[in-house]
Structures are given as structure tokens and as C-alpha cells.
Copies of this chain bind each other. A is one copy, B any other.
């Protein structure tokens, strides 16, 4: 699978919804191709310990592994990459201190998308596509906003924010490379089944 193909079914952790290790294992079992550890307000040591285990799991399943914000932890566990938003290290600095790491940029507008690409981001997490509770301050891009970003950058775009089994096909039509999911997977009673169903939808409607 190419880098772009591995961005296709991208799942983020959410401790409020499910414990990281078990839920990631279940999502990988269901066919997730990339995992991002997003864990706030805990110590670096705790993030490191979880990241170590997720690195093992994702390696076993051949999935990409990204760490949100903490470039140091990403380096420490040999993650594939780091995901950076406006509150984190700038993309250009991250690229400078860790040139071999994949750097994903979380962008919330076309302007931010163009800036991130220029700074050297390897892919974009663009959103929120739909309103969401996970990112309260996030502006809603909408499908049109997303389509504009996809058309304006050369790097792969992963859509994020409020995507679920019902609306995913509309999102795919914008030309994104992959979709990133939080509650549609991590909030499901059966995480493996929810991931499998999403995977089937993606496979049936591959762009």
C-alpha cells in the first residue's frame, strides 16, 4: 500500500470514548489503515507509554502511526509521523528538526491549507467537514470548503470532523485521499464492526 492509500481509513483515539490500546486494536482489526494518538492534559510519560503500545500494534497490522502534537514522543517511539495544529510546533520547524518524520497539518481553512503545504506538510487533515463536538472551536469547512482545499493543494488531504457512515460518500466525492474518524468508530459499541462497515463503504466507492 502506498502512503496515500494508507491515509484512507484514518482513526483517531479519544479517551473520553474508549481506552486507547483496546480501541485501536479493534479498529486495526476492522481495517483501519492509519492511527493517530491524540491525548491531552496527561504527562509526556503517559503519552509515551501509550504511544509505545500503539506503535507495536500498528506495526503488526501494517498501519501508519501518528502522534498528535508531541514530536518528541513521535521520535521516541519511531512513529511514522506527527500531526500538528495551530497550537503545536509550526510545520516548518518540525520538518527542520525531524526531516524523516511524516508531518501532517491540521487545517481549518483554505488559507491555512496553502500555508501548511508551503511550509512542507506531507499531508493535510482538513476540517471540520461537518459540525462536531470533539473540536468545539473548529470552524465548519463544509463540503464546498473541503473541495476547494483538495483542488488547491498537491499533497494528500484527509477529511475530518463529523464524518460517519451516513455522510461518508458525500465526503469521498470531494476528492479527498482519506477520511479521519473519531466518534463514528471510537464511539461505536462494536469498534471492529464499525470500522469494517466503513472500510466496505470506502472499497465500494473508491475514487
Contact = CB atoms under 8 A, between A and B. Distances in A.
A87 interface: yes
Contacts of A20: none
Contacts of A69: 44
A88 interface: yes
Interface of A is mostly: helix
Interface residues of A, number: 22
Contacts of A89: 44-45, 48, 72-73, 76
Interface in A67-81: 69-73, 75-76
Contacts of A201: none
Given A70-B72, A71-B72, A44 B88 contact: yes
A97 interface: yes
17 contacts: A41-B41, A43-B87, A43-B88, A44-B69, A44-B87, A44-B88, A45-B87, A45-B90, A46-B87, A48-B93, A71-B75, A72-B89, A72-B94, A73-B89, A75-B97, A76-B93, A76-B97
